[in-house]
Amino acid sequence: MAKKKKHILIIYTGGTIGMVHQQKSGALVPFDFGELTKQIPELKELGCEFDFHSFKKPIDSSNVHPEFWIELSKVIEKNYPKYDGFVILHGTDTMAYTSSALSFLLQNLSKPVILTGSQLPLNAIRTDGKRNLITTLEIASSNVSIPEVCIYFNNQLFRGNRAEKYTSSKFDAFHSINYPQLAEAGSTIMYNNRVIRNAPASKFKIQSSKFDTNVALIKIFPGINPKVIEATLQTKNLKAAIIETFGSGNAPSDKTFINVLKKAIDRGIILLNISQCSGGSVEQGKYETSLHLKEIGVISGGDMTTEAAVTKLMFLLGQKLKRKEVEKLLQKNLRGEITE
């Protein structure tokens, strides 16, 4: 008896992978996904069926915003019973933000949701788009259970809330230093089953349909003016700020700097400590230059990426939780985004 073919929904949101060079003008124009199998005939050999859903107006990923994440999650929610997996074509610039945001929105996910894209358009001679799309569809339609939001790029499958874009020019645009890759594609696709999340017993649902954007991101650098930080932390309606610190969570021990942070915390602002380094973890108190942050009430973000921290913070604030509950959940592993 022949195995039932998996049914995958390809969601096109925008990005380089969905663009082609127009022959006459040479300008980039959106690709007609109804013609996809003509452009990539290899898709017919995958042994799966796929349908398309295109956003009415393709979005450059630099214009991505929380309302876009919510719209995308609702497309998945609406089609969840009909498909075995979802492939999202997305621009690379904010792909890690979208994959992180979706990981928090999609609760009790039991099917793969994989984002991919490309550095070159589909009809470019050396395009990476064809290979990325073919392999992403193969993974999404495989018999291996991958019940999480992922990013696939240049032979590697990453947990979506652990990946970050680190280069704008190479084909291997993403990496995940603090968490192993979920799969690697060579002559065969090798799955790292021990690091893939287990399928949940509870029913799938969208946990929240709101992100609170009253969040700031402050990157510390030598010589930073405390008045600049103070002005940011006094922004009207601000509820939280991520402080990107040095190394394992270190920051200047200057009294003026520390006092600015303490005053913000006393006003009810949540401060989350995230390292500027891609690898490693915030360990407040390991050095004297991070102990003072811990003492005034700055929350450790552990080994979260900035993208995961930003989206998780906006997600939790959007649920109208009390401050202490938000601070507690920021340090808790909700979707595999942090090592507790």
Q: What is the set of active-site residues?
A: 16
Sign of CA dihedral 137, 143, 147, 150: negative
DSSP codes, 184-224: EESSSEEE-GGGSPPPPSSPPEE--S-----EEEEE--TT-
**Coil, strand, or helix at residue 52?**
strand
The token pair that represents 90 in the structure block: 């997305």
User: How far, CA to CA in Å, does 222 sit from each of 276, 278, 327?
Assistant: 13, 19, 28
| Neighbouring residues of 221: CB distance < 8 A, sequence distance ≥ 6 | none
C-beta separation of 139 from 152 below 8 A: yes
- Straight-line distance from the first to the last Cα atom of the chain, in angstroms, rounded to the nearest whole number: 46
Q: Report d(CA 266, CA 257) in Å as an integer.
A: 15
Q: Which amino acid is at 97?
A: Y
Under DSSP, the state recorded for 250 is B
The token pair that represents 328 in the structure block: 């507690």
The token pair that represents 95 in the structure block: 């792909």
DSSP E strands, 220-269: 240-245
| Neighbouring residues of 88: CB distance < 8 A, sequence distance ≥ 6 | 11, 13, 72, 98, 113, 114, 115, 116
**Coil, strand, or helix at residue 9?**
strand
Nearest to 313 by CA among 303, 325, 184: 325
For the beta carbon of residue 337, count every other beta carbon within 10 angstroms: 26
Q: Are strands 189-191 and 183-185 parallel, antiparallel or unpaired?
A: antiparallel
